[in-house]
Structures are given as structure tokens and as C-alpha cells.
A and B are shown apart, each in its own frame.
Chain A
Amino acid sequence: MSPKKPIQKLLVANRGEIAVRVLRTCREMGIATVAIYSDADRGALHVRSADEAVHIGPSPARESYLVAQRILDAARRTGADAIHPGYGFLSERADFARAVEAAGITFVGPRPESIDAMGVKTAARARMAAAGVPTVPGSAAPVADEAEARAVADRIGWPVMIKAAAGGGGKGMKRCERPGDLPALWQSARREAASAFGDDRLYLEKALDQARHVEIQIFADEDGNTIWLGERECSVQRRHQKVIEESPSCVVDDRLREGMGEVAVRAARAVGYRGAGTVELLVDASRGFYFLEMNTRLQVEHPVTELTTGLDLVRMQLEVAQGAQIPSQDQIVRRGHAIEARVYAEDPARGFLPSPGKITYLRVPGGPGVRDDSGIYEGWIVSPFYDPLLSKVVAWAPTRTQAIERLLRALGEYVVHGVATNVPYLAAALDHPAFRSGEYDTSFCARYAQELVRPADPRLEEAALLAAAIDAHRREREKAEALAARGGLERGPSSSTSAWARLGRARALRGGDA
């Protein structure tokens, strides 16, 4: 058995909703917590959700959340004995995991060697192929330049996906249809990869059409016991960013699920995996599946698995980090259907441009089967420095249809003012016949782009116009009353007649023709 010590105090090396998410479980487990924050995040929710908070630098992530030394200093200063990296930032940096362990602090995540093995995507693909895991045809190593990329693409066949060797999360990922588009896309992908990962190496994979993105959540303990917790279907993606995730997948039956689960466990074992991980697979039209990559961290969409299995994956991560054994495969029971919608501060009507700003009003959904994992509050300023994810709204129900209706209902309750959000887009996607039927693939968002950014329902438009008119009228009257009240003292109480008289007077004062 592992000689690991219990965690007394955990530092969360992240921000936003995932930091809040991890801190919540720590509170439940009685583990003391430390948050870190940049200049822009002094007022962030995660700072208030922790027992201690340490300032780690200026707002740009490369000067704060990406600086391993500052995070280690914060841990030392507060006496934290464990670090949870969340997702993104340093979560998949083997050198960070090594530095944490070298400092005598528990890294809540896989061994650095496993991160290394999966971190360079081309090396991971080669390793998986050697372990008998099917992979998408592509380049065996990072591609040196455009000319080589062209040659590789000609060999594997167009269209191709350009991907970042150090990649993940869709950053630096481009689909290239034809040779003529390659130079521009190649350069763009390089810049994105360099800025997101500090590593501009790229590789190519054949782009599979009518493919579905299905991933398997796996878990392993210190002793090498490895299990799978079911799949998540993540084919609703816009610009390679996941938008809606669900479990189970409509395309996966029990037999396919067993097969994928077994392959995912094999992939994890091949790199001596420990903790929570995700094996991303591409399922083609004939239900063959291929290894895409393994994410050696907790995923954004992990709540979908939590709701269908009833497990708390963060608690399991912390237990594994303290040397506990995970449940056996036959103890894992999945029930019902869960769907997650990612609420972003972005404006679908303006090409999904991020919409930073102050949240002037916030109402969050509640009621049966609804979970809102957010890092925001009314008055919070969504900064332009970080990912504009505001919240993940997740619904659980016994059946898929009920889960769709429930999530639509919850999104109808979700109101954010001050920044534009993609809530109407999410609702349109869930309500789309192709999504409802379950017959969709990774081209869903592109294929139905027009239908998903749709004008408001005419029946609702009438109510909206009535509301706008009444609101304008009420505000005009309030302004007039405020104006009249200021002038009222001079004229004395006799002048306080009806609101209409005051309004008329106020309009006259403004030079109107009331």
C-alpha cells in the first residue's frame, strides 16, 4: 500500500469556475484551502471560496497562473501540502508536476512521466499504436514546415486537421480542406499553439467526416487499479471548442461502450496512469473508433459523468492522492442521462466575439436535476485576460428527452446582463431536430450555423416589445418624478399634483412639446 499522507491543506492552482468547483469538495472533506489570484482576479469568486488567498502577479496568465515558481512560493508561504492544477494553465505540464513533487508537495494528478508520455500528441499516438490502440492516420512526428505538411497531407489524403503537438482544448487546431488554404492556416495554428502552450510544433491528422467525438473517463489509483466511468459525447463543437456534452452517447451501445472502455483502460495502463484522465476517441460512421489523445487532467465536462455515476470526481482525485484505492469496475453504476451546456460571455450575433464586461444582473437556474457550476456573481467583471466561460449548466433526468427539456428549462431561467452570452445559441442547439434525434456529428455547429443563430420566436417578440415599451414609459416617468421632486421644494406642496402633470412639466423643462 501507498505510504501517502492525508492532505491537510490544498492549493488550487487555477481560477474561475473550476477553482470554485475544487474548493467546494475540499470544504466538504474538511481540507483547508488556498486560492491564488492575479491582479484582475482580486474580486473573483474563487478567492472568497478559499480559506486563504495569495496574490501571484499581473493579469496576463503568462505572468501569473502560468508561472510555476510563484505558485510554489504561494504553497510554501501558506504551508499547503498538496496542489490541484484544475484544467488548462499548468495542469498538463510535466515540469510543473515534477517541481511540485520535488518541493515535497503532493501533485493531485498523474505522475509526471504519464503527462510526458501523453503530452506530445505525436509520441502519444505512436505509443498507443504500439499498445494496440487504433489511431487516426496522420504524421508520426511533428511536421517541420509547410512543405512537409503538404507532402504528409497528400499521402494521408485531404482534408486534414492541423493540430498542436502540445495541444488540447482546440487551441491551434485547424481544419484544412485544400492545399491552397494550407499556408494561412498553418501560420495561424502555429501562432495559436505558441501563445497557448509555449510550443509551436504542429502535426497532421486525416480529417474524418461524419465523425463523433466520444471520450471515456478513466480513473486509476496508486496501485494501478484502473476503471472507466462511461463515455461523454462531445460532438457539438464550434471552432473545435466543445459547447454541449452529454452522457450516454446516442451512438454508443453496450458492446461498443465495453470496447471503448477496455481500450481506454489499456491506454491508461500503457503510461502507468494515476488519477482522473480522459481518453478522447473519434467514432466514424461505421462505428469504428480511433484514439485521438489522452487528457491527463480533470475535464471541463466532468460533471456529466458525476451526474450519471453519482460520484464526485474531485473527491476521488483527492482520495487517490492520499493513497486510497478506487472502487472496482463492477461497483460503477450509471443511470439516467446528463447534458452540459457551456455558457460563454460571447455574442453569437457578432460572430461569437468574446464579450467581456461587468455582470450587472444575474439570475441562475434551480429546481430538480439542475446543476450550475459557475465562477461568477452579480457585479463581477468578466476580464478579457482569460477564457470567457461563465458557467456550466448541467441537467440530469431519467431519459435523454427529459434531460433536454430540463436543460432548456434551466437555460430559460438563466439571465445574465451586462455581457452578451451564448444562452440563446445553446437553447437553439438543444432544440434542433438533429440534436433531439441524436443524429449529429462534429459538423453539427457548422452545418446548422444559420439555424442556431435564429431570430426570437414571434410569439415572444410581442411580449418583448410590450415589456420594452412599458419599461421605457416607467423610466421616463421616474425621471420626470425625480426632476419634479428636485424642483418641488421651491414650488411648495401645492404643486404636487398628478404624475401626469409632473411629467408634462418635466417634458416642458427639457424643451419638449408636452
Chain B
Amino acid sequence: MSEYVALLDGGRREEPLGVRETAPGVYAVTLRGEVHVVDGYAPDAATLSLLLDTASRAATLDRRGASVRVRVGSAVLPLEILDARRLRTRRAPRPARPEGRVAVTAPLPGRIARVLARVGEAVSAGQALVVLEALQMENELRSPKDGTVVELHVQEGQSVEGNARLCAVE
């Protein structure tokens, strides 16, 4: 039996899962105290056709490391799936709110249209710090927390790469 934990809602919700292959292509999956017998067939690397008794569900899985976006119908469920034992060992108590110095990074490459904060300035969570122009649209990047701007690495007009560290709030 393999044991996994699915992290949902960005890690706020956990669902333990147990999987056992009882016959080739047939899986007994334990979820919320119930055992589901599932006939699982993978026609290609991204698709999993499930038969639960006669109920047919087609899921497609878009994986990036442990992150998976599972699509069923037009619904998409983003989750992280982790080996239960590895999760236990790596698990350290996570702070509910970001503590210490938190960086604001560019979510995608673009140009800094405006810098709205100064080093040393007190800011509140959700306050716009930098305006990034990408794909001809302006995107406001906001403070992840209440605090003080302690780093500022960009100026207006500058081009930045994706993931570039723009500023940080402590």
C-alpha cells in the first residue's frame, strides 16, 4: 500500500490517500474512510480514464514536480501530492502568516512601469508596491504582509526577468 497526502487550497487542506493495486490496472483507493475500487487506464501520459463501477470519469493531469493540476470536465483542481512518510519527515510547523523578510518577485518577465514604495516605508498587506507591465497590461504587485520595505532592487523603466527579486517587506 502506498500512502500519499494531497494538499489542497494552497496547503490549507489535507486529504490522506492510500492506494493498492489489487489486480493489473485495478486500484483500491482509500479516501475519507471509504475504499473506492477504481479501474484506471492511462491512454496517454497525461490522461487517466477511471471507471468506478460503471461510472466513467476522464481526468487529465498537468504535473510540475509534486504540483498537479487535475482536470475533470471543465473543473481544475490544483493540488500537491506527496509521499506520506516524506511529508511527515519534512513537515515543520508552517507559520500561518508570512514571517520575517518576504520577497516580492516578478511573476513573469516584463518592464517596471512604476515603483510605488520606498525603502523604509511602512506598508500594509495588499498594498501595491510595484507595477509590472507585461504583455501590454499593467499588473500591480502587492505587499504580502504588513511591515516595512527593506529591499528595493528596481527602478521605473527597467526590464526584469521572471522570478526576479523586486523588493522585500519585513
- Chain A positions near chain B (C-beta within 8 angstroms): 171, 187-188, 191-192, 195-196, 239, 349-351, 353-356, 360-361, 363, 384-388, 408, 411-412, 414-415, 417-418, 420, 423-424, 426-427, 455-457, 460-474, 476-477, 512-513
In the assembled complex, how far is the CB of residue B126 from the closest CB belonging to chain A, in whole angstroms?
Answer: 12
B57 / chain A contacts, CB cutoff of 8 Å: 463, 467
One digit per residue, 1 when the CB lies within 8 angstroms of any chain A CB and 0 when it does not, for chain B 132-143 equals: 011111110000
In the assembled complex, how far is the CB of residue A211 from the closest CB belonging to chain B, in whole angstroms?
Answer: 23
B120 / chain A contacts, CB cutoff of 8 Å: none
A476 / chain B contacts, CB cutoff of 8 Å: 2, 83
B135 near A354 with CB under 8 A, answer yes
B6 / chain A contacts, CB cutoff of 8 Å: 465, 468-469
In the assembled complex, how far is the CB of residue B79 from the closest CB belonging to chain A, in whole angstroms?
Answer: 6
Known: A423-B76, A456-B75. A464 touches B27 (CB 8 A): no
A460 / chain B contacts, CB cutoff of 8 Å: 72-73, 75, 77
A472 near B2 with CB under 8 A, answer yes
In the assembled complex, how far is the CB of residue B65 from the closest CB belonging to chain A, in whole angstroms?
Answer: 12
> Which residues of B, 53-101, contact A by the 8 Å Cβ criterion?
57, 59-63, 68-79, 81, 83, 85
Partner of B50, one of A420, A463, A472: A463
Q: State the CA gap A420–B62 with chains docked (Å).
A: 10
- Chain B positions near chain A (C-beta within 8 angstroms): 2, 4, 6, 9, 15, 17-19, 21, 27, 29, 31, 36, 38, 40, 42, 44-46, 48, 50, 52, 57, 59-63, 68-79, 81, 83, 85, 107-110, 113-114, 131, 133-139, 162
Partner of B74, one of A349, A355, A420, A424: A424
Partner of B46, one of A349, A417, A512: A417
In the assembled complex, how far is the CB of residue A198 from the closest CB belonging to chain B, in whole angstroms?
Answer: 12
A466 near B36 with CB under 8 A, answer yes
Q: State the CA gap A351–B2 with chains docked (Å).
A: 36
In the assembled complex, how far is the CB of residue B134 from the closest CB belonging to chain A, in whole angstroms?
Answer: 6
B59 near A464 with CB under 8 A, answer yes
B31 near A462 with CB under 8 A, answer yes
Known: A361-B46, A474-B42. A467 touches B72 (CB 8 A): yes
A467 near B135 with CB under 8 A, answer no
B74 near A423 with CB under 8 A, answer yes
B138 / chain A contacts, CB cutoff of 8 Å: 188, 191-192
Interface SS majority for chain B = strand
B108 near A356 with CB under 8 A, answer yes
A361 / chain B contacts, CB cutoff of 8 Å: 44-46, 60, 62
A477 / chain B contacts, CB cutoff of 8 Å: 21
A470 near B78 with CB under 8 A, answer no
Known: A188-B138, A191-B133, A456-B76. A469 touches B42 (CB 8 A): no
**What is the chain A residue whose CB lies nearest that of B78?**
A349
A415 near B60 with CB under 8 A, answer yes
B68 near A466 with CB under 8 A, answer no
Q: A355-B108, A463-B59, A466-B36 are in contact. List 13 more A-B contacts (CB 8 A).
A: A361-B46, A384-B135, A387-B136, A417-B69, A424-B74, A456-B75, A463-B57, A466-B31, A467-B57, A468-B6, A468-B61, A468-B70, A469-B29
Most chain A C-beta atoms within 10 Å of own C-beta, residue among B17, B76, B81: B76
Q: State the CA gap A74–B6 with chains docked (Å).
A: 54
A351 / chain B contacts, CB cutoff of 8 Å: 139
A353 near B139 with CB under 8 A, answer yes
In the assembled complex, how far is the CB of residue B156 from the closest CB belonging to chain A, in whole angstroms?
Answer: 10
A427 near B74 with CB under 8 A, answer yes
Sample of 25 A–B contacts (CB below 8 Å): A353-B107, A354-B134, A354-B137, A361-B46, A384-B134, A408-B74, A412-B74, A423-B76, A424-B75, A427-B74, A427-B75, A463-B52, A464-B70, A464-B75, A465-B6, A466-B36, A467-B59, A468-B17, A468-B68, A468-B79, A470-B29, A472-B2, A472-B19, A473-B21, A474-B42
In the assembled complex, how far is the CB of residue B63 from the closest CB belonging to chain A, in whole angstroms?
Answer: 8
**What is the chain B residue whose CB lies nearest that of A344?**
B135
The 9 closest A-B pairs by CB, nearest first: A467-B59, A417-B62, A427-B74, A464-B70, A456-B75, A469-B17, A473-B19, A464-B77, A463-B57
A469 near B61 with CB under 8 A, answer no
Q: State the CA gap A195–B157 with chains docked (Å).
A: 12
In the assembled complex, how far is the CB of residue A431 from the closest CB belonging to chain B, in whole angstroms?
Answer: 9
**What is the chain B residue whose CB lies nearest that of A454?**
B75
